Structures are given as structure tokens and as C-alpha cells.
Chain A
Amino acid sequence: MGTLGRAIYSVGFWIRETGQALDRLGCRLQGNYYFQEQLSRHRTLMNVFDKVPNVHKDAFVAPSASVIGDVQVGQGSSIWYGCVLRGDVNSIHVGSGTNIQDNSLVHVAKSNLTGKVLPTIIGDNVTVGHNAVLHGCTVEDETFVGMGSVLLDGVVVEKHGMVAAGALVRQNTRIPCGEVWGGNPAKFLRKLTDEEIAFISQSATNYANLAQVHAAENAKSFDEIEFEKVLRKKFARRDEEYDSMLGVVREVPQELILPDNILPNKSPKPSQIG
């Protein structure tokens, strides 16, 4: 750095100090009402004494999710924004390829009281919809728990079972293989068709792909975020007709291209629900 650079640097430093002094003055004037912002103290993964969450390296855990205590998350699973997996009194096991969508809550029931142990076990390739509440239940492989549904203690959803959106499944209910239950309290509605059963596993793979994109985006450092912001500004999507009229071919930079598997027209097999 040259002498001029150093001089400008120190001038900048003085002005910043002045700014901070002004900030403090403003806070002083606000008196008791002012609130000082702090660093985020939210912990995505947290221990409870000796219970350590064990998350597979390929799983996606959103930074705003909380995974607390004795939780195991398998390969290719995704825990989306705002989820809470609280394994503080008992264990939670999430299989591989499972997705637990935004704002869901998974908790466990009293451990070893009156001989009852109710860990929460979620199998492989399960889709748990937004805002679902799973409390001390067992959800087997390739099941579908709809949006906003509530599963109470001791519920078992057998393989290929489905809980419809907004259902409340009462204690110790067993949802047999290949059935749809819905309502409050949940009742048997109908049998699943083979197509729908195929859709459940398709939905899980779709979500696993989607999770990879989100994981990559959320893991970016500050510099990368700023870099891509600039790139995006530069390559802002103009009207395609406008571009072709001018004969401009815009090459989208590598960083801004999403993988094919989440774009609807490029995906191998799009399905109803993402």
C-alpha cells in the first residue's frame, strides 16, 4: 500500500470512528428503548449434555433449523428451514433420503417412564410436509406425512402409508400399508393407487435434489455471495426477444446455472408435487 493509500485508510478510519460515535450518541438519545443487535446465537446443531446429534455429511440442514440432542440423520436427508428436531429426552432417528419440510417439529415422548419408551423413528425416503408435528411416533420407509398433520404418541405409519394434509392422528393408531388417513381425528379414507405409491418415492428423490441446491447456496461464504450478486447484476435476465433482436447472446455464468434436476422442464420425470 502506498503512502496515499495509507493516508486514505486512516482518514476512512477516523470517519468510521465518528460514525460509531454518532451511532452511540443516537443510542444514548433513544435512552432505555434502544436495542443493540447481537450476533446470531442460534445453533443449528446442539448437544444436550452428552447427547450429540449425528448428521450425515451429505444431509442438508438449513441454518435456521435446530437439531438438538440425540438425533441421527442419514444420508441424503434434508431438514428444511425453521424445523425443530428436539431429541432431548429420547432419540430421534431419521433415515436416508428423507425430507422434513419447513417449520416442522419432531419431538419424543417421556423416556423410560412406566416402562414406555417412545423414540421417534422416521424411515428412509419419507416425505414429511410443511408444519407437521411428529411426537414419539414411528414412520416407516416410503411414507408420506402431509402438510400440517399432527402425529401423536405411539402412532405407527406402515410402509407406503399416507397421512393426508391437516390430519390429526390420535395416540397409538396404526396406519396400515398403502392406506390414506385424513381428518380430525384421522380416519381411513381410501387405498393408495400404485401410481401414488410410485409418486411418494419420486417426491423423496425430487426433494433430495432440491436440497442439494439449497445446501450449496446456504453454505456460501460472504465473498462468494457478494461475487454472485455482482454476476447476477451483470447478467440480469433481459427479455429474450429483446436480446435476440439485438443479436445478443448472453452466456449465463457457471455459478448461476442451477442443476437440471430442479428445473421442471429439464427434469427426467416431473411429478405433481415437488
Chain B
Amino acid sequence: MAAALARLSRRTLADPSRLVPLRRLLSAEAAAPAVSPAAGPPLTPSDRVKWDYRGQRRIIPLGQWVPNIAVDAYVAPNVVLAGQVTVCDGASVWNGAVLRGDLNKITVGFCSNVQERCVLHAAWKSPTGLPAETLVERYVTLGAYSLLRSCTIEPECIIGQHSILMEGSLVETNSILESGSVLPPGRRIPTGELWAGNPARFVRKLTHEEILEIPKLAVAINDLMQSHFSEFLPYSTVYLEVEKMKKALNISL
């Protein structure tokens, strides 16, 4: 039964006149009219691509700004890097994160990790005198679902899950932010302290042992990243699927 149905649909698809809408759906050129918002005619709702077979591109250059991933860094396949983003050596960006440097620079430093579904964005300017770029230095662990906007995180810090860092906040070396904490704009966390809460408050000083643990955690996550990294081949083989499908639908390559 299924085979018969497949044969029938194959026969219908072979007829080129019925293929026009399908072809439009499949070809990337369908989206082309939207290229320049100023010049080209805007998309009509019927022209909007509902299913882009390419999925979301991982690297989205904006003008001259191209996101830059170091060879050693792991960036999960469904991460979006847009604009001025730099991911340094040994850093890892895990699934579902969005790093959008369209207004200012975003840097993820050596051996840092940005865990699942984090959002890093930068504003035009910050209320404090600091530059408004989002700077994550080396050996920083950003927990899942954390949100960073134009803040500076100095080396060897831990930012807990679900924490929110607003414009112009500064986390100094060797400090820890508990999960679920919110740093209001322009707040500074001094060296070697533990902060928590919404808005974040001082909890206690960190002991020497805890401070030594911070880079170890980053390195442990770096090790984990290596195993994920090795799972991905440099080039995917999806283009074969695309070719196969285009051939099945009689679209010239």
C-alpha cells in the first residue's frame, strides 16, 4: 500500500507543471526577493519560506563583520553567532545559545564555556564608563540559561544558571555568582566574592580552595567539550541528501 502511494506521488511529481510551488519551497532562491529591504520588493506572505531545508545558519555575517571561531573551539550546531563574535581557542558554546554581536563586540575567551540556551548580546553603550562590548575572559563558566548583555567578566569566574547580567556590570576575577541571580546595570562584583539573589547581594568571601576550584571546573568542561567536538566531522554530508532530494524532484542542480 505504501509502495503504491509512493509510486503515485512519484508520478505526480514527475509532471513539471505541478511542481512549481514545490520547487519554490525547495529552492533557496525563493527567499531572494527579501535581500535588500530598501530596494527589493518585500516578501508577500505567500512567498515567505516556511521550511528552509538548510535550517538556521550557524554563522551569520552582518556586513563586514564575520563571526570568528577558533579552530579549537566547539560551537554546537544549533547555536547562532551573528555579527562581531569571537570565540577563542578552547572555548565551548553549547546547544541553543545565541551570541548576537550586532551592535557591539562579543568575545568568549580561552577555555571559557557558554552553556545551553545562553543569550549573549551587546548594547550600543553602557551606563558605566566601560566599553559596551560583552567580554567573557578566560576560564569562565557561564551556566545554562544565563543572559549577558554588555557586561565584562574577568578571568576565572563562575556565573550560575538562570542568572542575568545587565548593561555595564562587571564581575571581577575569581568571583562566583549563584544561580538565579540578577545583576542590575552598572553593578560591580569585587574579587573573590560570592553573590546571589535578585538583585544580587553579597553573601560571603570565597575561600582559597574554592578559588582554586574555579579553573578546574572550566578545564573539566573543556574536556567534555573535546568529546563532543570530536563527534563532528569538518564537513557535513547533508549536501548529499539535498542532491538526492533535488534529483527526486527533478530540480536541476
Q: Which residues of A contact B (CB under 8 A)?
A: 20, 23, 36-46, 54-58, 61-64, 80-82, 101-103, 129-131, 147-148, 165-166, 182-184, 210, 212-222, 224-225, 228-229, 232, 235, 237, 252, 256-259, 262, 264, 267, 270-274
Contact = CB atoms under 8 A, between A and B. Distances in A.
A39 B245 contact: yes
Closest 7 CB pairs of A and B: A40-B55, A64-B56, A258-B63, A166-B182, A219-B34, A221-B28, A219-B31
A57 B49 CA distance: 11
Contacts of A101: 119, 121
B63 A147 contact: no
B77 to A, nearest CB: 9
Contacts of B37: 212-213, 215-216, 259
B55 A42 contact: yes
A216 B36 contact: yes
Nearest to A231: B64
A269 to B, nearest CB: 11
Contacts, number: 194
Nearest to A166: B182
A259 B38 contact: yes
B16 interface: no
B145 interface: yes
5 contacts: A130-B98, A165-B164, A215-B37, A262-B102, A273-B149
Contacts of A221: 27-29, 31-32
B64 A252 contact: yes
A183 B180 CA distance: 11
B45 A220 contact: no
Given A37-B237, A217-B82, 13 more contacts: A81-B100, A102-B100, A130-B147, A131-B117, A166-B164, A166-B182, A213-B63, A214-B60, A229-B61, A258-B63, A259-B38, A274-B103, A274-B122
Nearest to B117: A103
A148 B160 CA distance: 14
B125 A102 contact: no
A46 B50 contact: yes
A55 B32 contact: no
A147 B31 contact: no
Nearest to B44: A57
Contact of B49 (A23, A44, A58, A131): A44
Nearest to A218: B60
A146 to B, nearest CB: 8
Contacts of B55: 39-40, 42, 63-64
Contacts of A271: 124
Contacts of B203: none
Nearest to A82: B98
A130 B56 contact: no
B22 interface: no
B61 A232 contact: yes
Contact of A44 (B52, B78, B125, B180): B52
Interface in B34-85: 34-38, 42-45, 47-57, 60-64, 66, 78, 80, 82
B198 A183 contact: yes
Given A82-B80, A218-B57, A273-B167, A232 B28 contact: no
B108 interface: no
